[in-house]
C-alpha cells in the first residue's frame, strides 16, 4: 500500500468568515474560494448550511455555490457543514441545481457534521447535547451516502472546552467511535480554542487511532483522521509535526490564518484563528514530506483573505 501524501483542506471561506462581524458579499467570497483552490489544496470548505439566525455570515451558502458551479475544478473537492437533515436537504438542492444548470455531476462532494467532545460546547454551538447531535446524524449520514456524498464528522474541543475545561482523550475517542458506527468516512479532531500542545494532541490522536484499527488511514491509504488546529499559543505547527510522526496525513488550515468559531468566544474574547496554511506547509516541510502547495498562489490567497478581516 502506498502511503498517502498529505491532504490539505482549506477552511478559510467557512471557518474564516463565520466569525467575522462584517458580512462579506457573495462575489468576494467566491473570489476567495477561487484563489484558495488555486493554491494546490485538495479540498475547500466553502460554507455551511446552518441556521441563518445562528450564523448570518454564511446565510448565502446556496448562492455562493451557484457562483462556483460554472468553473468547478476537477482536482479540488468542495465541502460544506450540515448540522441536521435540513442542512443536508439544502446541500442536495444545490447539487441538483448545479447538475441541471451546468451539467456538474457533483458540486458539493462532501458534507460535514459537527459535534463536540464536551457537553458545554455542544450546547452552545448546536443547542443540543452530544447525544442529541448524534441522533440528528443517524439518518443524515446514510442519506448523504445514498447521494454519493462523502461524510466528515468534526469533534470539537478535543483537548479543552472553553466552558467545561479539560477534555480527556477517552471522551474524544468515545464520540469518535459513535460517529464511525453511524458511518462517517472521516473523523476530524478540532482543537477549537488552540489549547493543544504536541503531548496533549498526541494522547488524543493515539486514543482515536486505537478506534480506527490502529491506523490514521483506511485500507485504500486514504486518510480517515484529520486534524483541525487553531493557533492561539503558536503551538499548532509543532502539533502538526507530532501528528505527522503518528501517521496523520490530513490537515485543515486556513489561508491567512483566518478563523475561529463564534460560539467558542467567551467573555467578549474572540476565539483564535485556524492554523495558517503557510504554518502548516512549513511544518510539513520540516518533517521532510512533499506537499502540493504553490507558495506564490498561497501568498496571493493569504493576502486577499487577510484583507477581508477588520
Ligand atoms: P435550533 O434553534 O435548536 O434549531 O438550532 P431548530 O430546529 O429549533 O430551528 C430553529 C430555526 O432554525 C428554524 O427556523 C429552523 O427552520 C432553522 P424558524 O422556524 O425559527 O424560522 N434551521 C435551519 N435553517 C437553515 N439551515 C439549517 C437549519 N436548521 C434549523 N440547517 C442548529 C439548531 C443546529 C440549527 C443551530 O444551533 C445551528 O445552526 N448551529 C450552527 C452553529 C455553527 O455553525 N457553528 C460553527 C460551526 S462549528 C465550528 O466552527 C467548529 C469547527 O470549526 C471545528 C473546531 O474548530 O472545533 C467545525
Ligand atoms: Mg474551527
Pocket of ligand 1 (CB under 6 A): 15, 18, 48-51, 53-55, 81, 83-84, 86-87, 90, 114, 125-127, 154, 156, 190, 192, 228, 261, 263
Please tell me whether residue 55 adopts helix, strand or coil conformation.
coil
Please give the Cα distance from 37 to 33 (Å, whole number): 6
pLDDT in tens, 129-181: 999 999 999 999 999 999 999 999 999 999 999 999 999 999 999 999 999 99
CATH number at residue 270: 3.20.20.70
Give the pLDDT score at 278. Answer: 97
91 found inside a domain: yes
Query: Mean pLDDT in the chain?
Result: 93
Confidence label for 264 from pLDDT (cuts 50, 70 and 90): low
Please give the Cα distance from 211 to 209 (Å, whole number): 5
∠250-137-222 over CA atoms, to 5°? 25
Tell whether the model's pLDDT for residue 268 goes beyond 70.
no
Give the pLDDT score at 223. Answer: 82
Confidence label for 1 from pLDDT (cuts 50, 70 and 90): very low
Q: Whose CA is nearest to atom 30 of ligand 1?
A: 51
- φ/ψ region of 23 (left if φ > 0, alpha if ψ in -120 to 50, else beta) reads beta
42 CA → ligand 2 middle, Å: 18
pTM: 0.95
Tell whether the model's pLDDT for residue 203 goes beyond 70.
yes
Which atom number of ligand 1 is nearest to the Cα of residue 126? 37
Find the mean pLDDT for residues 247-270.
80
Q: Whose CA is nearest to atom 42 of ligand 1?
A: 125
Q: Is 239 a catalytic residue?
A: no
Q: Whose CA is nearest to atom 15 of ligand 1?
A: 51
Q: Whose CA is nearest to atom 24 of ligand 1?
A: 51
1 found inside a domain: no
Give the number of whichever ligand sits closest to the CA of residue 157.
1
Confidence label for 3 from pLDDT (cuts 50, 70 and 90): very low
pLDDT in tens, 80-133: 999 999 999 999 999 999 999 999 999 999 999 999 999 999 999 999 999 999
Tell whether the model's pLDDT for residue 2 goes beyond 60.
no
286 CA → ligand 2 middle, Å: 24
Tell whether the model's pLDDT for residue 267 goes beyond 60.
yes
Confidence label for 259 from pLDDT (cuts 50, 70 and 90): confident
Cα–Cα distances in Å, from 214 out to 10, 217, 225, 234? 27, 9, 11, 29
Please tell me whether residue 308 adopts helix, strand or coil conformation.
helix
pLDDT in tens, 46-84: 999 999 999 999 999 999 999 999 999 999 999 999 999
Q: Concatenate the DSSP letters of all residues of 105-144 into one string.
A: S-S--EEEEEEESSHHHHHHHHSS-HHHHHHHHHHHHHHH
Q: Which three cell numbers stand for residue 191?
A: 482543537
Catalytic annotation, pick one of 157, 161, 239, 261: 261
190 CA → ligand 2 middle, Å: 6
Find the mean pLDDT for residues 16-36.
94
53 found inside a domain: yes
pLDDT in tens, 294-305: 999 999 999 999
Find the mean pLDDT for residues 187-207.
97
Confidence label for 261 from pLDDT (cuts 50, 70 and 90): low
Q: Which three cell numbers stand for residue 221?
A: 491509504
| 236 close to 194: Cβ distance less than 8 angstroms | yes
Q: In total, how many domains does the chain have?
A: 1
DSSP-derived secondary structure letter, 302:
H
Please give the Cα distance from 248 to 4 (Å, whole number): 10
2 found inside a domain: no
Give the number of whichever ligand sits closest to the CA of residue 19.
1
88 CA → ligand 1 middle, Å: 12
The H-assigned helical ranges of the chain are: 17-18, 26-37, 61-68, 85-102, 119-126, 130-146, 169-181, 198-211, 236-245, 277-286, 295-308
**What residues make up the domain containing 17?**
7-308
Which atom number of ligand 1 is nearest to the Cα of residue 259? 53
Tell whether the model's pLDDT for residue 30 goes beyond 50.
yes
Confidence label for 260 from pLDDT (cuts 50, 70 and 90): low
154 CA → ligand 2 middle, Å: 9
Give the number of whichever ligand sits closest to the CA of residue 260.
2
Q: Whose CA is closest to 138, among 174, 77, 179? A: 179
Amino acid at each position: 500500500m502506498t502511503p498517502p501524501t498529505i491532504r490539505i483542506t482549506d477552511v478559510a471561506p467557512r471557518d474564516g468568515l463565520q466569525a467575522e462581524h462584517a458580512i462579506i458579499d457573495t462575489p468576494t467570497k467566491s473570489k476567495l474560494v477561487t484563489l484558495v483552490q488555486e493554491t494546490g489544496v485538495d479540498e475547500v470548505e466553502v460554507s455551511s448550511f446552518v441556521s441563518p439566525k445562528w450564523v448570518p455570515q454564511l446565510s448565502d451558502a446556496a448562492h455562493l455555490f451557484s457562483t462556483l458551479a460554472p468553473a468547478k475544478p476537477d482536482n479540488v473537492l468542495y465541502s460544506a457543514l450540515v448540522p441536521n437533515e435540513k442542512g443536508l436537504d439544502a446541500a442536495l438542492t444545490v447539487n441538483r441545481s448545479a447538475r441541471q444548470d451546468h451539467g456538474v455531476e457533483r458540486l458539493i462532494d462532501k458534507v460535514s457534521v459537527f459535534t463536540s467532545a464536551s457537553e458545554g460546547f455542544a450546547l452552545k454551538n448546536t443547542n443540543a447535547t452530544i447525544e442529541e447531535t448524534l441522533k440528528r446524524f443517524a439518518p443524515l449520514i446514510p442519506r448523504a451516502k445514498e447521494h454519493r456524498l462523502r461524510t466528515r464528522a468534526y469533534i470539537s474541543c478535543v483537548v479543552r472546552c472553553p466552558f467545561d475545561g479539560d477534555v480527556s482523550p477517552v471522551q474524544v475517542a468515545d464520540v469518535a467511535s459513535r460517529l464511525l458506527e453511524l458511518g462517517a468516512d472521516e473523523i476530524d479532531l478540532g482543537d477549537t480554542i488552540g489549547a493543544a500542545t504536541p503531548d496533549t494532541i498526541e494522547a488524543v490522536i493515539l486514543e482515536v487511532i486505537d478506534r480506527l484499527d490502529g491506523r490514521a488511514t483506511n485500507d485504500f491509504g486514504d486518510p480517515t483522521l484529520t486534524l483541525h488546529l487553531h493557533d492561539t499559543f503558536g503551538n499548532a505547527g509543532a502539533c502538526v509535526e507530532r501528528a505527522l510522526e503518528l501517521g496523520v496525513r490530513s490537515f485543515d488550515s486556513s489561508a491567512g490564518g483566518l478563523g475561529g468559531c463564534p460560539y467558542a468566544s467567551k467573555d467578549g474574547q474572540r476565539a483564535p484563528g485556524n492554523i495558517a496554511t503557510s504554518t502548516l506547509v512549513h511544518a510539513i516541510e520540516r518533517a521532510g514530506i512533499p506537499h502540493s502547495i504553490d507558495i506564490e498562489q498561497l501568498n496571493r490567497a493569504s493576502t486577499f483573505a487577510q484583507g477581508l478581516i477588520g
